[in-house]
Amino acid sequence: MEQAGGKVEVSYFENGELVTVAGRAAIIACPKFIAKRIIRGLDDDHARAMGAMRYAPYLVVNACTRQVIYNGSYDTNIPARARSSTSTSPTGSRTATTGKLTGRRS
């Protein structure tokens, strides 16, 4: 992620190709010690402040099961049998999702 000409550019890989998109803003939703490494051009004051933040230890668990355990939280992502659906994002664009449950209720 980096600021360029009054916009924010975010790059990611899709199908093995680097894709860059631009927008007015980007939300970096990760711990600060990771964010400071993925934001290009971060000024020294912000980089130091992000480096000074301390987090309590936390555990991340990935469990594979054949049954849905719980599908009501915001970020639960449980693979399911392939199914296709189309949803509308907050920006109004339509996206197709195949073979995964996103944790959002319909």
Q: Are residues 70 and 45 in the same domain?
A: no
Provide the residue range defining the domain that includes 68: 59-106
pTM: 0.48
Domain count, the chain: 2
**Would you give per-residue pLDDT tens digits along the chain (106 residues)?**
998 888 999 999 999 999 999 999 999 888 888 899 999 988 899 999 998 988 888 777 777 888 877 666 656 555 555 554 444 444 444 444 444 444 444 4
Which of 88, 86, 68 lies closest to 78 in space, CA to CA?
68
Q: Which of 12, 32, 52 is the last residue of a domain?
A: 52
What is d(CA 75, CA 103) in angstroms, rounded to the nearest whole number? 6
